[in-house]
Amino acid sequence: MKLFITFILLITTMNAIDLKPYETKIKQLSNEERFVLINKGTEAPYTGKYTDEKSNGIYRCKICNTPLYKSSDKFDSSCGWPSFDDEIEGAVKRVPDADGRRVEIVCAKCGGHLGHVFEGEGFTPKNTRHCVNSISLTLDSTPKVKDNNLSYAYFAGGCFWGVEYYLEKLDGVKEVSSGFMGGNVKNPSYYEVVRGNTGHLEAVEVIYDKAKISYEKIAKTFFEIHDPTQTDGQGPDIGEQYLSAIFVNNEGEKNTIRSLITKLEINGFSVATKILDKQEYYKADEEHQNHYNKKGTKPYCHGYKRRF
């Protein structure tokens, strides 16, 4: 019994997490994330968002953002969790699990729990399987090369999920992503913006084929899927990050927006939408993309209303 207690104490010491440098991030974790990353729990099989993910990129630690795995080392093991046969050198630490049988893997930098590692299963030539909880990771996708045949537009109209939902349905729009623009903090997190201390607006980037749809058509739709007269946010979402604005790339876009606003004012609308120069766009993390499509629901504070 004494030997067993000594072993458990050794395991506890080896698995100790120095949380102090990451206190702010730890506070932002959801209960489910805390259960896995801090309390060493396990998410249910086949429920994690990265289990079947095929995108290229780097998987990072949810707590400290350290690069842990390359997508090129990910493989399908049909085990119910994301599987990798290798880690980025020095990024993942192996420690004996408290159950005395398995080998736990943690982030070498912050100690956040990732999952377990298994060897000798024969899935790949490396004969190693890192069985990782999706909830312990974030995926930093490889940036797409910009196509000269495509154009980019930027809109802010309250919660970015609703704007994304409607604009991505337009014929000629190739992709819409949710993110942030207009602030003074580089690479802001969603929670930093929500607290309203970065100066950013929740915005969307619209990638469209200008041969199939015009900038004016997209902007017109934007004015009709949110309330451009609201001055303090959008619907029940109140705050500076939810204000209505259009970030323009050039004078041509600016003139288009001015013309549309003039038409709205003639129709009796007192437009609060700001016209701002385009700034650096920061795409939100993957869990904030395609929110309503993932949930199978519709926006609660956006909807179509003809205004022109």
Catalytic residue numbers read 131, 159
Q: Which helix (H) or strand (E) holds 224?
A: helix 215-225
In this structure, the number of other CB atoms found within 10 A of the CB of residue 109 comes to 20
Evaluate whether 275 touches 245 at the Cβ level (below 8 Å). yes
3 state DSSP class of 192: helix
Q: How far apart are CA 29 and CA 138, in angstroms?
A: 13
Q: Residues 133, 48: contact at Cβ < 8 Å?
A: yes
> DSSP character for 228?
T
Query: What is the length of the chain?
Result: 308
- Please answer whether residues 155 and 222 qualify as being in contact, where contact means their C-beta atoms are separated by less than 8 angstroms: yes
**36, 285, 60, 281 alpha-carbon torsion, rounded to 10°:** -160
Of 1, 201, 168, 17, nearest to 107 by C-alpha is: 17
Residue 113: both structure tokens together: 């729990």
Angle at 230 between CA 291 and CA 200, to 5 degrees: 55
Q: Give, for 259, the enclosing helix (H) or strand (E).
A: helix 251-266
